[in-house]
Structure 1
């Protein structure tokens, strides 16, 4: 088989794998939502993944961002399967990576349903790493972009996914640690929570800087942090210091990319 034929076969295989990955992710999401009579994700693992599972869990409405992320990933899977996208250099660079993130997304739901809480931490850490890698390739690749659709379904959707999973990894890890650390550690919960949120701020700023101040990761991260603050002010366990810190971190993460992008609109030469 010649090289051109091998490349065509690889392109078709990539498109099929992406469609298979999004199908797996959606099936896992439906099961995770409790659609078939099983308990929903927040009720699994003894309720550790619920909004009261730790001091760093966001309020329930925060998770509505998954609807946007899933819609974007479904749209991407359909778009990349078009014949016009089969030999796209961007798809060749990113299709397999996006498929990996969707597969890990679904595997997290499987781990939450059938595995242990520690296993969910392992899977979400792998998902975060895969998303960071995918987003880095997406914003740094030199292959020509396919216009607005390309930018939205690859850069923007991956950015939202990355931003949200950054905070979800923190919440997931905090939920696991809450179940294994001594009860006395709760006395230091405010200090620990504030320290973790400062690290989140640094991570959010690093993502923005390394991606030339892309906005979508910051939007997703600030969204989650805002709902984390709401839960700490109004839910259980309550913590005004963590709530205030979460709001400050949300602003710290969001404002720099907003300012840079506004300046770019005013002065297109701004880097």
Structure 2
């Protein structure tokens, strides 16, 4: 019969820092420094503001699926979370953390892709920005799946700094990807007003809610993902009622989608849901 202690050497070995641990920490930190371009560009300190480039295609009144301006304030929380995550992963007790080993490189890539998106939009390359943001979305989905697979171990701090930060990041980018694609289509001459575009956009918004529901089913329902996604969807609804182009159809669809995302998350988080 195998002694419970027989596997302890392997577990101890896992807790010994290796060269790749330090390289990962340095890479994440360098990526965080690069990602600081975000607030500088977003505020117009470097280049033009995001909503003013390229040619206003990403402004809150550019398409039916563009969130209202205040929605983008969520980036302040995300950037603060990324900074906290960068500090967190340098803590001695976190150097060999299994979750950080599994997700650190993806976290770094997400920061680089976000910076790349900002650079691309500054150049006015709207379709290139679509490619970049889709790559960013895929990266964040993979990261969330890995976080779910490994499970949190260090209490509230980890839940906020790691799961909370990347949950908000992933949820927001889901909405931003739909808005980015719509902006690219509009820049190519696709109509953004009229009955057909309204119903097509409403269908896109509800499809987005369905996709988020599927993602939540795979990661056990994350409130951070739901909060960021519903925040973006709610601001799409507000913008379509108060800003141009106006559309009651899209506003209702976005409102329903926001409630749906929150509702299904509550179901996935309900006691006993994971055992069913």
Same fold (TM over 0.5): yes
Worse overlay, 150-159 or 51-60 = 150-159
Out of 112, 118, 126, the position equivalent to 2:127 is 118
Deviations 1:153-172 (A, max 9, x none): 22221111111000000001
The 8 Å contact of residues 238 and 251 in structure 2, kept in 1 or not, is answered as yes
Q: Following superposition of structure 1 onto structure 2, how do residues 112-191 of structure 1 map, counting pairs within 5 Å?
A: 112-141=121-150, 145-183=153-191, 186-191=194-199
Cα gap change, 1:244 to 1:30, in 2 (>3 Å): same
Deviations 1:43-88 (A, max 9, x none): 0110001001111000001111111111111100011012222122
Q: CA deviation at 1:146?
A: 2.0
Q: Counterparts of 1:50 and 1:260 in 2: how far apart (Å)? A: 34
Residue in 1 that maps onto 2:41 = 31
The 8 Å contact of residues 67 and 232 in structure 2, kept in 1 or not, is answered as yes
Q: Counterparts of 1:115 and 1:7 in 2: how far apart (Å)? A: 44
Residue in 1 that maps onto 2:4 = none
Q: Counterparts of 2:100 and 2:49 in 1: how far apart (Å)? A: 34
Residue in 1 that maps onto 2:23 = 13
TM-score, normalised to structure 2, is 0.89
Q: CA deviation at 1:33?
A: 2.2
TM-score, normalised to structure 1, is 0.90
The 8 Å contact of residues 63 and 192 in structure 2, kept in 1 or not, is answered as no
Partner of 2:78, secondary structure, is: helix
Q: Counterparts of 2:193 and 2:62 in 1: how far apart (Å)? A: 15
Please say if 1:251 is aligned against 2:274.
no
Partner of 1:244, secondary structure, is: helix
Q: Structure 1 stretches of 5 or more lacking a match? A: none
Q: CA deviation at 1:223?
A: 0.6
Q: Following superposition of structure 1 onto structure 2, how do residues 4-83 of structure 1 map, counting pairs within 5 Å?
A: 8-36=18-46, 38-83=47-92
Q: Counterparts of 2:192 and 2:28 in 1: how far apart (Å)? A: 47
Q: Counterparts of 2:124 and 2:67 in 1: how far apart (Å)? A: 23
The 8 Å contact of residues 29 and 106 in structure 1, kept in 2 or not, is answered as no
Q: Structure 2 stretches of 5 or more lacking a match? A: 1-12
Out of 238, 241, 264, the position equivalent to 2:246 is 238
What CA RMSD, in Å, does the superposition of the two structures yield over aligned residues?
2.2
Cα gap change, 1:268 to 1:240, in 2 (>3 Å): closer
Q: CA deviation at 1:174?
A: 0.2
Q: Counterparts of 2:131 and 2:273 in 1: how far apart (Å)? A: 42
Deviations 1:18-64 (A, max 9, x none): 1110110012431342114x321110110001001111000001111
Residue in 2 that maps onto 1:87 = 96
